[in-house]
Amino acid sequence: MTGSQHADQCEVCILGAGIAGLNALVVAAQYLGSNDKVVLVDRRPRVGGMWVDTYDYVRLHQPYQLFTAGNIKWTLGKERGYLASKPEILDHLQHCLNVVSRQVDVDERFGWSYVSHEETDRGVQVTLQDPAGQTRLVEAKRLIKAFGFQVDPNPPLPVSSKRVRSTTPNDLGQVVESDAPVWIIGGGKTGLDTAHLLITRCPGREVNMVVGRGSIALRRDVLLPAGFRGRWFGGMPFTTLGAQLAKRYDGTNEDELLRWYYSALGTGPTGEKCDFAYGFGGVTSDAEMAVITGGLRRADNERFTDAVDRNGSPELVFRSGRTEKVPEGTWLVNCTGLLLRSSHPYEPFVSPSGRTLSIQQRSTAIPLTLQAAYFLSHLMFTGGLHTLPLYELDAEGLRDKLGRSPLPAGFPLTLYNLSLAFDHLPAKVFAGFGSDLLLWYPLPRRLAAMLRFQRTHRRDREHHRATLDTIRERYDVRCGPLEHLAGRA
């Protein structure tokens, strides 16, 4: 820092005001005094993260009360299974910020961008750029980089043809208003949402999907069953799914695991012709999927490469070499994946000093970023983040080595690290995690699940570690304790 530059002082600087950043903020407030300052930075104009940028017809995958910062309650007043809309989600995230702002001094810096940071003897010096393009400095005792999946909206697909129209879910109004055929490129949650909207808004419209390998969607009727009988006796809670998948996985049997995963609670427009989703996949009901599969003209496991004009008419070109003639004016909607699609420089999830926590996918301890922000922030403030032998995974590197989603590795990784966290953190931390999908189920089922975890997590931890070590050796990716903790596992 030069003598002419002033640095604003704070206890914590949090980069990112999405659901991950807000969970980090809620946790930080529990360890700070009411007069302590937290600087909250986001390049967007308001709180909300990716929800600010996403398409207008998006809805939550899970019941709305199970998506929050810390355990802050919603004020929506809808029935338990309601799936909140984009405006409702943004309103709740603003509510979360308002609640925390009454507990700690939050300095909101929306429209500001992160430039760099450097640890010093006094803490962490963070360089930011304000909306006017000026460089500003913040000096914090702790820095939490809650960038998460670093999601940006897709642009329209570039095509050679002048006779087809290419657009995105963020600009779907003109697609709905026309009657031309639609080809949705991508079969994840965005593609399913788009297909459902077009089929229900435009009955009889020709709608097609090109899904590549295909992405497994999770059946909400199994994961979060409705009704008294479903919640008390049916379904497969996410904790059970995670435990069973991690126990079945040995670091080598991805295809076998895929078959089990789909049979347990998978669905999708191409049936069993699908693969693990990037991220953890969308969640959809059987009724929604029936509407989609019943309304689609076609759903193909092809990979779109271009649209070209040949002999005066447009054709779609696929990687397999197959072509498809389409009418002039056909729409292409880019619903290709947003998660784990780009690569970023390596940065350990925690610095050796414990002053900097970085929530991202190049070095992840818990791939679900909401969960990571909550539990890793608690570990940061209790001294465990940089002292426990937590495993990191280079999920982006594993994606490149696999040539497919690294989702299976996320389950043993999460359970291994949560097992270490469980032995370090007070029980109230786990009880205060308001986004736990297990909360959908009645108290006796939740208590039974917690008792099973308490009884078996140390024994299971050894299996998970062996699986993760196999992944490291088999694929030559970072998958183990950070360098400064090597030998403590």
Q: Domains, the chain, ranges and CATH?
A: 8-151+344-487 (3.50.50.60), 165-215+268-334 (3.50.50.60)
Dmax (CA) of the chain: 72
Cα→Cα distances 75→29, 72, 88, 128, 419, Å: 21, 10, 10, 34, 33
Compute the distance between CA of residue 19 and CA of residue 28 in angstroms, rounded to an integer. 14
Q: What is the pLDDT of residue 399?
A: 93
Q: At what angle do helices 238-248 and 254-265 cross, to 10 degrees?
A: 160
Q: Kindly report the backbone phi and psi dihedral angles of residue 242, in degrees, each rounded to the nearest multiple of 5, phi listed first.
A: -65, -45
Q: Is the separation of the CB atoms in 21 and 40 below 8 Å?
A: yes
Q: Which of 123, 110, 102 lies closest to 35, judged by CA?
A: 102
Compute the distance between CA of residue 440 and CA of residue 3 in angstroms, rounded to an integer. 55
Q: What is the pLDDT of residue 2?
A: 46
Compute the distance between CA of residue 75 and CA of residue 234 in angstroms, rounded to an integer. 29
DSSP single-letter state for residue 72: P
Q: What is the pLDDT of residue 1?
A: 44
Identity of the residue numbered 256 = E
Q: What is the pLDDT of residue 153?
A: 86
Beta strand 207-210 pairing with 323-325: unpaired
Tokens 């304790």 found at: 481
Stated pTM of the model: 0.95
Q: How many CB atoms lie within 10 A of CB 100?
A: 22
Instruction: Render each residue's pLDDT in the chain as its tens digit; 489 residues.
Output: 444 588 999 999 999 999 999 999 999 999 999 999 999 999 999 999 999 999 999 999 999 999 999 999 999 999 999 999 999 999 999 999 999 999 999 999 999 999 999 999 999 999 999 999 999 999 999 999 998 777 778 899 999 999 999 999 999 999 999 999 999 999 999 999 999 999 999 999 999 999 998 889 999 999 999 999 999 999 999 999 999 999 999 999 999 999 999 999 999 999 888 888 876 678 999 999 999 999 999 999 999 999 999 999 999 999 999 999 999 999 999 999 766 566 789 999 999 999 999 999 999 999 999 999 999 999 999 999 999 999 999 999 999 999 889 999 999 999 999 999 999 999 999 999 999 999 999 999 999 999 999 999 999 999 999 999 999 999 999 999 998 876 555
Token duo for residue 412: 């043993």
Q: What is the pLDDT of residue 89?
A: 98
Q: What is the pLDDT of residue 150?
A: 73
Compute the distance between CA of residue 293 and CA of residue 56 in angstroms, rounded to an integer. 23
Q: What is the pLDDT of residue 154?
A: 87
